[in-house]
């Protein structure tokens, strides 16, 4: 089934011998002060050395025995990506879920959450901005002042623990620079979209340097509310700013300080009774987030055997999410039905980590084995206030967790070419949950993850590796106190990943490369929504749906990324992910037996191909196409998305310190969905059950100007 649906896409991408990283990893700082034009820079570069920062050590991507996609700032610029969701299609086997204004949750290799309501969520896919954990809050993933995005595919239990059972996305912003430089950006587009940003970076003195960035983006959105006669009920009003300070205090001690502020005040009026971009809501919703975060990183190199790294972070997040449940207005429903559902969350998170990283020349076992040891602590507190029309009283809950983890990793060089990497992480989480329904619980989970990786560096151009890795995510609680005690909590989920990989550079000056990964993942104790009918003492029955460890499954596939700098003018790139998933045993909340069915939000193929043309030092033309197969929207019904291929393009002109770009996404104005439900909500057809979808963006286009100094 996997190859039946995907072979053509795989063959085309392979024949082109191109890859996303070839275009998405030119990490020239957005604020670089140079007279060289962007087009000239692109012509001068062959496939450069790309580094990965998200591991324990900075590594060359082509020599890293892991499936990682690195998406750089130029990829964001060529698509005018305002948010991570606008460019995540460049990474194979990565999908996202809406059901909110921006993509809040991501799925990697078919695994990941899609929404959150009453219950606390333990993310399967983590999201970090620099060192700060924003897992489950991906809406604020602004790309202004972006350095790069690293997408780790597969379990990352040793490095990241419970938030990386399926993988992890790390966003790195630009670091302080040794020379003063800056960038001013202005943009405008259809749907009354406009943006403005400024970034500055440079030295303060011989021991200190800084970077500052701020960006504001506004748009009316893509929906027309005919009842209110408004076109801005699904609007975007997004402000982000951050600052970094790098201090060299002594010969051996450096300190990195950072502060972040996000204020996203977006509308949420995304669902239509007619499954188009016309709504009739009389009480449009909202999807807001205000976050303040800080981080500090101390690096001390004064010990001969190891470098000591300590990282401390703290984040305060206020999230407000609500919608018009009936999607209509009073008077449209014959019985006067009108309902809203609003969720207000306060989320605080603090982390601390001490890491001991062996120095060069201090490896163990006769200099053959480098090591990393560490201890990690996290405390988070979540408070929920739900206002729902049909609740007698507002719902309140608190959820607090304390997590302690110990981890270690050895990289043993068995000979000059063969390396064995072994990692282990033991994590213990103590949780405390209480709600206004007089229900409380305190689950305790001890989880173990790790990996064994055998890599063989054939020569400077060829790397082969095989790995077995284990990831996990913590258990949790169900909010319905009428459930039997044995169903009120659910246990951790585990994922074992078996993977073979091959990375190679081609041609005399490494103008081309390929990265291939084949994987098989075995999921156990899958946390998924199930149901139970409970007989009351009066003889009546109660139907309850809840989260439980009710399924097992497997996910397997192939991922390819490749690139080719054909000549000074032409560069190709492409990626493709093939995926086959299934439940081995599962009966969903509706009583349907889904054993053998695909898992939700797991398309059989995803691909991205494109070309960059730089005819001279001033002009740059980029054209790309993103393709995705159909997939099930949910595990509670059998409704599916439609396959879609989306065309994007941009034309840039640069002279001196100015660059002007015309850009467009979804050039053919295709309609495709990013979230889907199945129920009855339309009074005009007697509330008959049918599919409702949230549509992705239509054709969007605009102009952007940058001034570098």
Burial of 390 (0-12, 13-18, 19+ CB in 10 A): exposed
| Mean pLDDT value of segment 681-687 | 89
Q: Which of 305, 309, 256 is nearest to 55 (CA)?
A: 309
| Mean pLDDT value of segment 554-561 | 98
Of the given ranges (50-59, 256-265, 438-447), which has the lowest mean pLDDT? 50-59
| Mean pLDDT value of segment 513-530 | 93
- 582-621 pLDDT, tens digit per residue, is 999 888 767 778 889 999 999 999 999 999 999 999 999 9
The pLDDT confidence band at residue 640, using thresholds 50, 70 and 90, is very high
Question: What residue spans define the domains of the chain?
Answer: 2-346+460-708
CB 701 within 8 A of CB 190: yes
Please give the Cα distance from 496 to 697 (Å, whole number): 36
Q: In the chain, what percentage of residues exceed pLDDT 90?
A: 76
Residue 46 clears pLDDT 60, i.e. is over it: no
Residue 21 clears pLDDT 70, i.e. is over it: no
pLDDT score at 420: 97
pLDDT score at 334: 77
Local structure of residue 40 (DSSP, 8 states): H
- 200-253 pLDDT, tens digit per residue, is 999 999 999 999 999 999 999 999 999 999 999 999 999 999 999 999 999 999
CA distances from 279 to 181, 229, 232, 270, 615 (A): 46, 10, 11, 8, 46
Q: What is the residue-wise DSSP string for 607-645?
A: EEEEEEE--SSSEEEEEEEEEE---BS-SSS--BPPPEE
pLDDT score at 7: 35
Q: Which of 552, 553, 562 is nearest to 520 (CA)?
A: 553
- 142-201 pLDDT, tens digit per residue, is 999 999 999 999 999 999 999 899 999 999 999 999 999 999 999 999 999 999 999 999
For 2-346+460-708, the fitting CATH number among 2.40.440.10, 3.40.640.10, 1.10.1200.30, 2.40.170.20 is 2.40.170.20
| Mean pLDDT value of segment 484-508 | 91
Q: Give the number of C-alpha atoms closer than 13 A to the C-alpha of residue 603, restricted to the C-beta side.
A: 23
Select, from the ranges 437-441, 507-511, 540-544, 589-593, the one with the highest average predicted confidence (pLDDT). 437-441
| Mean pLDDT value of segment 387-403 | 94
Backbone dihedral angles phi then psi of residue 29, each to the nearest 5 degrees: -55, 140
pLDDT score at 451: 97
| Mean pLDDT value of segment 87-105 | 93
- Please give the helix or strand (H or E) that residue 314 lies within, else none: strand 306-324
Mean pLDDT taken over the chain: 90
Residue 649 clears pLDDT 80, i.e. is over it: yes
pLDDT score at 507: 84
Residue 9 clears pLDDT 70, i.e. is over it: no
The pLDDT confidence band at residue 52, using thresholds 50, 70 and 90, is confident
The pLDDT confidence band at residue 481, using thresholds 50, 70 and 90, is low
Of the given ranges (336-340, 348-352, 481-485, 502-506), which has the lowest mean pLDDT? 481-485
CB 285 within 8 A of CB 323: yes
CB 574 within 8 A of CB 602: no
Please give the Cα distance from 269 to 230 (Å, whole number): 11
Of the given ranges (164-173, 403-412, 476-485, 664-673), which has the lowest mean pLDDT? 476-485
């Amino acid at each position: 089934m996997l190859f039946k649906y995907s072979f053509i896409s795989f063959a085309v991408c392979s024949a082109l011998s191109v890859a996303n990283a070839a275009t998405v990893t030119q990490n020239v700082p957005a604020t670089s002060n140079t007279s060289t034009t962007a087009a000239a820079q692109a012509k001068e570069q062959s496939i450069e050395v790309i580094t990965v920062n998200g591991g324990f050590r900075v590594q060359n991507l082509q020599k890293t025995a892991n499936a990682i996609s690195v998406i750089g700032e130029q990829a964001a610029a060529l698509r005018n990506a305002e948010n991570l969701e606008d460019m995540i299609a460049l990474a194979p086997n990565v999908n996202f879920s809406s059901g909110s204004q921006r993509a809040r949750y991501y799925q990697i290799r078919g695994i990941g959450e899609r929404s959150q309501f009453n219950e606390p969520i333990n993310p399967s896919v983590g999201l970090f901005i620099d060192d700060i954990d924003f897992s489950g809050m991906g809406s604020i993933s602004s790309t202004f002042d972006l350095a790069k995005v690293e997408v780790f595919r597969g379990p990352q239990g040793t490095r990241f623990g419970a938030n990386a059972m399926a993988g992890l996305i790390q966003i790195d912003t630009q670091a302080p620079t040794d020379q003063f430089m800056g960038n001013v950006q202005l943009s405008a587009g259809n749907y009354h979209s406009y943006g403005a940003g400024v970034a500055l970076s440079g030295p303060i003195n011989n021991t200190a340097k800084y970077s500052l960035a701020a960006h504001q983006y506004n748009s009316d959105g893509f929906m027309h509310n005919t009842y209110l006669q408004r076109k801005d009920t699904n609007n975007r009003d997004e402000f982000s700013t951050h600052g970094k300070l790098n201090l060299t205090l002594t010969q051996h001690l450096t300190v990195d300080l950072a502060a972040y502020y996000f204020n996203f005040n977006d509308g949420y009026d995304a669902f239509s009774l007619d499954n188009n971009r016309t709504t009739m809501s009389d009480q449009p919703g909202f999807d807001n987030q205000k976050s303040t975060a800080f981080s500090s990183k101390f690096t001390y190199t004064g010990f001969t055997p190891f470098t000591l790294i300590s990282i401390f972070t703290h984040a305060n997040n206020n999230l407000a999410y609500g919608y018009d449940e009936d999607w209509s207005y009073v008077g449209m429903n014959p019985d006067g039905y009108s309902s809203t559902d609003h969720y207000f969350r306060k989320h605080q998170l603090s982390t601390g980590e001490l890491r001991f990283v062996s120095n060069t020349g201090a490896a163990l076992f006769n200099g053959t084995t480098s090591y990393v040891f560490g201890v990690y602590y996290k405390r988070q507190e979540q408070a929920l206030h739900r206002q729902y029309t049909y609740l007698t009283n507002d719902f309140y809950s608190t959820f607090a967790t304390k997590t302690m983890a110990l981890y270690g990793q050895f990289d043993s060089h068995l000979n000059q070419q063969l390396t064995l990497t072994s990692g282990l992480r033991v994590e213990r989480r103590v949780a405390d949950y209480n709600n206004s329904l007089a229900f409380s619980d305190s689950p305790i989970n001890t989880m173990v993850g790790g990996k064994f990786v055998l890599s063989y560096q054939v020569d400077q151009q060829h790397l082969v590796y095989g790995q077995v890795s284990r990831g996990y995510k913590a258990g949790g609680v169900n909010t319905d106190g009428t459930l039997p005690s044995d169903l009120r909590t659910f246990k951790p989920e585990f994922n074992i990943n078996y993977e073979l990989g091959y990375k190679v550079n081609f041609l005399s000056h490494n103008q081309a490369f390929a990265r291939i990964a084949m994987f098989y993942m075995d999921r156990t104790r899958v946390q998924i929504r199930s149901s139970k009918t409970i007989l009351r003492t009066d003889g009546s029955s109660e139907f309850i749906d809840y989260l439980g460890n009710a399924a097992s499954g497997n996910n397997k596939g192939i991922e390819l990324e490749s690139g080719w700098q054909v000549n000074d003018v032409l560069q190709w790139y492409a990626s493709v992910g093939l995926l086959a998933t299934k439940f081995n045993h599962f009966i969903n909340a509706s009583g349907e037996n889904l054993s053998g069915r695909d898992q939700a939000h797991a398309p059989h193929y995803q691909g991205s191909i494109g070309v960059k043309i730089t005819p001279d030092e001033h002009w740059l033309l980029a054209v790309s196409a993103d393709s995705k197969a159909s997939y099930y929207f949910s595990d509670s019904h059998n409704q599916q998305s439609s396959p879609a291929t989306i065309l994007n393009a941009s034309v840039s002109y640069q002279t001196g310190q100015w660059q002007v770009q015309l850009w467009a996404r979804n050039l053919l104005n295709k309609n495709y969905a990013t979230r889907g439900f199945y129920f009855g909500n339309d009074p005009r057809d007697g509330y008959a059950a049918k599919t409702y979808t949230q549509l992705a963006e239509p054709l969007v286009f605009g102009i952007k100007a940058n001034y570098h100094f």
